[in-house]
Structures are given as structure tokens and as C-alpha cells.
Amino acid sequence: MTDPIKVKADLIPYVPEYSRVVHSWIDSEETYHDLCRGKQFPPSEDIVDSWQRDGVTSFILLSERKPVAYGELWHRPMDLAMEIAHLIVDRFKRSEGYGTKMIELLYDRAAQRENITRVMIHLYGDSEVALGCYVKAGFELLGTTTYTTGLRLVRTVD
């Protein structure tokens, strides 16, 4: 795997023009379930657009001007937290450091917000690769999620 620190990429705000490309990365039932606990594969064409709502800030990671990853920050004011969600990497760019880079950049964005003491991630599948990516980005396993099967990871804001 490429060192995420050396990965050259830029984080930009999501715009609807990226919807089709992000949708194309949902390439299997397993990916769909791990991404958003989706059950009926393939997902609807408007799945990515349906994620855009109040309290959610979405981003695209670009490398060489091409989208390579997508992720969201969900504001959790009652927890004084932000949650990283719907993280997905282009299937042809996986295991090249882009996922870890995306998590690091999303963490940096979240940590800059006022009244945020931690950033959370929920892992709904059993992907050791995803878990390793989150740990590599500085997140610690906190325990299991309370409302569905999965793991809860957290990183305290410095």
C-alpha cells in the first residue's frame, strides 16, 4: 500500500456532477452493505444525491484532477462530534492510500469546527482492510455500535 502522506490529492466539496462516478464505485452487494447498510443491490441511480441533506457536508478526493474517493462529515452536535460516513474509494484506486488520505483530510476538516471534541466512524461490515485504514488514520476502536451490528471508532480532537 502507498503511504497516504505521500499520496497527492485534493479534497473538494461534492457537487451533483460527481453522482454517477461515485455510484459506479458501488460495485457489489458487499460494498453497498458496508457503505450504507444497503440491502437491494444495485442501488438506485439517485442514491448518492439522496445522501445530501442538512447536517451533512460531502467531499470528493481528486488525484490528478480525477475523482478517487467520496466521503461525508455528519454533524453530531449532541455528542460534540462529527462522524465520517459513506466513505468509498474508486475500485481501481483501492489499497493505494487514498482511503487513509481521505480520512485524514476529513478529520482535519472536522477538527477545525467549533465545539467538536471528537470524530467518529462506524464500521458496519467486517472489512479488515477498512478497519486497518481507520486505525492507520489515528482512530481507536471504542466498542460496538448501539443501534446496529458494527464497530465504533473514535479520534479525539487535539
Higher pLDDT, 53 or 149: 53
CATH superfamily for 10-117 is Gcn5-related N-acetyltransferase (GNAT) (3.40.630.30)
Instruction: Report how far residue 138's alpha carbon sits from residue 150's, in angstroms, rounded to the nearest whole number.
Output: 19
Asked if the bond preceding 13 is cis, omega within 30° of 0, the reply is: no
| pLDDT 10s digits, 59-96 | 999 999 999 999 999 999 999 999 999 999 999 999 89
Instruction: Report how far residue 38's alpha carbon sits from residue 86's, in angstroms, rounded to the nearest whole number.
Output: 11
| Whole-number percent of the chain with pLDDT over 70 | 93
Domain boundaries, the chain: 10-117
Instruction: Report how far residue 90's alpha carbon sits from residue 114's, in angstroms, rounded to the nearest whole number.
Output: 31
pTM over 0.85: yes
**Sign of the torsion formed by the C-alpha atoms of 123, 127, 128 and 132:** negative
**Helical axes 128-136 vs 98-111, angle rounded to 10°:** 50
Q: What is the pLDDT of residue 42?
A: 95
The pLDDT-based confidence of 3 (bands split at 50, 70, 90) is low
Higher pLDDT, 146 or 20: 20
**Sign of the torsion formed by the C-alpha atoms of 116, 119, 120 and 121:** positive
